[in-house]
């Protein structure tokens, strides 16, 4: 089932009208809210915020809010993608007609 999901996501990305926005800098912040429930037990909730900045205009171009679970998945996927990319970049051979893309699905 997960292979089907990844395949569907890749197909939807390929046909998407979403244009890439390029960012020079990134700001990472977090918010934690806390309070007490009816029984006096402390409840906490947190989210990570990633703000992408275009340094030419010095303005934010996008803000993404992630749950901690999704952020951990993003960290893992970025690490794996960077490892694959570094390995490919270090190769001595060049394939002109080849465009290498990889998609990781974070759940």
The whole-model pTM stands at 0.67
105 assigned to some structural domain: no
Query: Which of the listed ranges 6-10, 14-18, 54-58, 78-82 does the model predict with the highest average pLDDT?
Result: 78-82
75 assigned to some structural domain: yes
Tell me, what's the pLDDT at 22?
81
State the sign of the Cα–Cα–Cα–Cα dihedral 25, 85, 49, 19: positive
Closest CA to 51 of 59, 67, 62: 62
Residue 97 has pLDDT above 60, yes or no: no
Per-residue pLDDT tens for 24-37? 899 999 999 999 99
80 assigned to some structural domain: yes
Q: Give the count of beta carbons closer than 10 Å to the beta carbon of residue 65.
A: 14
40 assigned to some structural domain: yes
The two three-digit tokens of residue 53, written as one number: 């900045």
State the sign of the Cα–Cα–Cα–Cα dihedral 16, 23, 107, 76: positive
Total structural domains in the chain?
A: 1
Tell me, what's the pLDDT at 12?
86
14 assigned to some structural domain: no
13 assigned to some structural domain: no
83 assigned to some structural domain: yes
10 assigned to some structural domain: no
């Amino acid at each position: 089932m997960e292979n089907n999901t990844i395949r569907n996501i890749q197909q939807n990305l390929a046909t998407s009208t979403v244009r890439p926005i390029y960012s020079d800098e990134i700001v990472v912040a977090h918010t934690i809210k806390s309070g007490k429930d009816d029984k006096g037990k402390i409840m906490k909730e947190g989210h990570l915020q990633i703000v992408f900045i275009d340094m030419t205009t010095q303005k934010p171009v996008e803000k993404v809010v992630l749950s901690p679970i999704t952020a951990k998945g993003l960290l893992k996927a970025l690490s794996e993608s960077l490892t694959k990319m570094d390995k490919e970049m270090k190769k001595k051979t060049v394939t002109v007609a080849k465009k290498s893309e990889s998609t990781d699905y974070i759940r």
